[in-house]
Structure 1
Amino acid sequence: MSFNDLERGTFTQPSLALNASAQTDEERHYKRTVQEVSRKVFQINASVGNIRQQVGQLNTSRDTSRLRQDIQNKMESTRELVKTTTAELKALSDFQQTNPNKRRARRLEQQKLTADFHRVVEQFQNIQRVSAEVTREFVDRARHAVHLQTDDMLAEGMDHEESTPLLANQQQQQQQRRVELSVLDNDIEYNEALINERESEINEIEQGIVELNEIFRDLGTIVTEQQSLLDNIETNVQSVGNNAARASEQLSSANEYQRRANKTKFCILLFLIIFVVVLVLIAIS
């Protein structure tokens, strides 16, 4: 490095270039994260719409075990998507920007993303509640049916115990009753299996709702932090504006003082010139 380089200040250029490159990389990373969050919010919204359509088919002629399994799979994948999106929203607040205007623009952008995300997560939670309620209605009806079937079986059993020696046709009727009781017993077992399956679905949905409640608390913290940062930015901008105004006033005062000082110096110099001229004239005469 030569003295001329130092004198011209060219040695600072590489560091400035590195800073500009780092800022560019940071900006690209920030934009990619914003785009990824926006994409996932859109994806969650589409998934919720699909789940809502399928939940509307529950307890209808289209209700099948395959449909319910598909709903459960989509709910689980959507919950995972919600979790990763929440983490990426938190990461956005780690991006720092020294420029107050750009920093404020980023915070406003993050606030909008958070609001959109909060809305779709709330819709997702609501459709989970609807699914749990529909499934709970099925369980209640199935339990009622099981109780009725159990009562019928008990009544048939009591009739069988109280019966007297039977004739051939009566024995045939009794055999038919045994077949009917066997079918009824199978129906009870099937309904009980369905009840257990549906209760398992309800438990899983309710666990997902609890997880979303925790995410809502995280979102509340994110919103509070974003608002606090925006308030600080506004305060800093206002402070900078006030400082600039005071600096302008001080510069104006300094300029006025300088102008007056120059005027005073001019008057003194003019007086000295006149005084010297008078002295010279007196000496000549």
Structure 2
Amino acid sequence: MSFDRLNSLEAQPTTMRRDEDPQYRDDPGFDHLAETLSDQLFTLTSNISRLSNQIALLGTKRDTERVRERVHNLLEETRAGFKDVGEGIKKVQTWEDVNPSQKWTQQKLSSEFKATLDEFQTVQRRALEKQRASAAAARTAVEDGEQPLIDTDVQLQEQQLEEQHRMANQGEVDFQESLIIERETEIRNIEQSVGELNELFRDVAHIVTEQGGQLDIISENVQNVTQDTRGANVELRSASRYQKNARNRACCLFVILAVILLIIVLAIVLG
């Protein structure tokens, strides 16, 4: 290589030579998306921890309307977060022309997403069990309080007094009924969310499985290229040896011819 050519190569920007190698190619879009998803997964993990603490209070003496409101809000916020992250995971998993570092990021994000989603589904099921138990207990209490007394002459006066007391507590009964309806609605929401997030989990797993098959094909192609390269290298070495031997034989022949020629010249001169 000439000195001018060497200077020309050294004068080229480093980024240009790095861009020519896919392994070092910069991709701000991919990096920004991966960083955003990582931050969102961290937030979801924090929500799950807070949600688990609040669900543990359901059905205890510390169970209040405020606790149930926090559980509801955290469930809604975390569900929406998982749906957004799931779409982002799908996008990052189907990113084209990824280098080895980006492939590792894809696998890391996918593993973290599936682990975090599985944890949230477990917490949702625990909330579902608590809500069902609470709704069943409230329904039983209301139904027991509304059972009619036996209509007999002896108990007629007691029945009238009980009816007045029941009318006085009708507002409380209506309130309990509204709570039951609210809890049953929350139960349906949780059941629907569990199903939707299970579908999202399967979608991501399917994409990862498909990519795994593509990676196997790429790996097989790389192995085939490596084997072909090794075979070509062996053939080149053999050809080099043959060429070297041919040069050696040519040199020997040349020396022999030179000796013969020298002998002939000497014979002529001496003769």
Give the TM-score normalised by the residue count of structure 1.
0.78
Q: How many residues align?
A: 262
Other-structure match for 1:47: 47
Go from structure 1 to structure 2 and tell me whether the alpha carbon gap of 1:241 and 1:136 turns closer, same or farther (over 3 Å shift): same
The 2-side partners of 1:185 and 1:160 are apart by: 25
Q: Which amino acid aligns with 1:259?
A: K
The 2-side partners of 1:270 and 1:231 are apart by: 58
User: Is 2:139–2:180's contact at 8 Å kept on the other side of the alignment?
Assistant: yes
Q: Which amino acid aligns with 1:131?
A: A
Aligned-pair identity in percent equals 30
Other-structure match for 2:192: 207
Other-structure match for 2:133: 137
Note if 1:254 corresponds to 2:248: no
How many angstroms does 1:142 deviate by? 1.6
User: Is 2:131–2:187's contact at 8 Å kept on the other side of the alignment?
Assistant: yes
Q: 1:224 aligns with which of 206, 209, 223?
A: 209
1:1-285 mapped onto 2 (5 Å cutoff): 17=16, 20=19, 26-93=26-93, 94-97=95-98, 103-151=99-147, 154-155=148-149, 158-159=151-152, 163=156, 176-284=161-269, 285=271
User: Structure 2 unaligned runs (5+)?
Assistant: none
User: Is 2:149–2:159's contact at 8 Å kept on the other side of the alignment?
Assistant: no
How many angstroms does 1:199 deviate by? 0.5
Go from structure 1 to structure 2 and tell me whether the alpha carbon gap of 1:133 and 1:160 turns closer, same or farther (over 3 Å shift): farther
Structure with bigger RCO (C-alpha 8 Å, 6+ apart): 1
User: Structure 1 unaligned runs (5+)?
Assistant: 98-102, 164-169
User: Is 1:92–1:110's contact at 8 Å kept on the other side of the alignment?
Assistant: yes
The 2-side partners of 1:106 and 1:242 are apart by: 27
Go from structure 1 to structure 2 and tell me whether the alpha carbon gap of 1:224 and 1:116 turns closer, same or farther (over 3 Å shift): same
Q: Which amino acid aligns with 2:254?
A: L
Go from structure 1 to structure 2 and tell me whether the alpha carbon gap of 1:123 and 1:260 turns closer, same or farther (over 3 Å shift): same
Go from structure 1 to structure 2 and tell me whether the alpha carbon gap of 1:160 and 1:96 turns closer, same or farther (over 3 Å shift): farther
Q: Classify the secondary structure of the residue corresponding to 1:155.
A: coil
Go from structure 1 to structure 2 and tell me whether the alpha carbon gap of 1:160 and 1:125 turns closer, same or farther (over 3 Å shift): farther
Give the TM-score normalised by the residue count of structure 2.
0.82
How many angstroms does 1:19 deviate by? 8.1
User: Is 1:33–1:92's contact at 8 Å kept on the other side of the alignment?
Assistant: yes
Residue deviations 1:184-238 (CA, integer Å, cap 9, x gap): 4334322222211110000011111011111110121132134334434433443
Could you say which structure has the higher helix fraction?
1
How many angstroms does 1:96 deviate by? 1.6
CA RMSD in angstroms comes to: 3.3
How many angstroms does 1:147 deviate by? 2.0
Stretch of structure 1 that moved more, 86-95 or 44-53: 86-95
Q: Which amino acid aligns with 1:227?
A: G
